[in-house]
Amino acid sequence: MLDEKSKHPAHKDIEAFDVEAVNSAKVREPLYKARVKVFPKRATGKFRRLKWILMVVFLGIYYITPWLTWDRGEYVTNQAVLVD
């Protein structure tokens, strides 16, 4: 669309072009695709069961070992496993 200034250029040898802004609302497209929703699904099988069994065993060891005691003498801590 030519506005009033471009219809009457300052110099008669300059050609005026009818242009539209690249980022105008009519031309603009969204920059990103809409997010695809992800839904959790229950996993089953022998490896999933093995994972849960190992997790229970190792977490049990992790949480129980600080309470295991070992009599090592009068001025030494009695805790069998020291976790730092």
Concatenate the DSSP letters of all residues of 16-71 into one string.
P-----TT-TTT---SSPPPPP-------SHHHHHHHHHHHHHHHHHHHGGG-B--
Residue 69's DSSP bridge partners are 79
Digit-coded pLDDT (tens) for 50-59: 999 999 999 9
pTM for the structure as a whole: 0.47
Separation CA 70–CA 67 (nearest Å): 10
Separation CA 82–CA 67 (nearest Å): 10
Q: What is the pLDDT of residue 47?
A: 97
Would you write out the chain's pLDDT as a tens digit for each of its 84 residues? 455 555 555 677 888 888 878 778 787 877 888 999 999 999 999 999 999 999 999 999 999 988 888 888 888 878 888 776
Digit-coded pLDDT (tens) for 35-47: 999 999 999 999 9
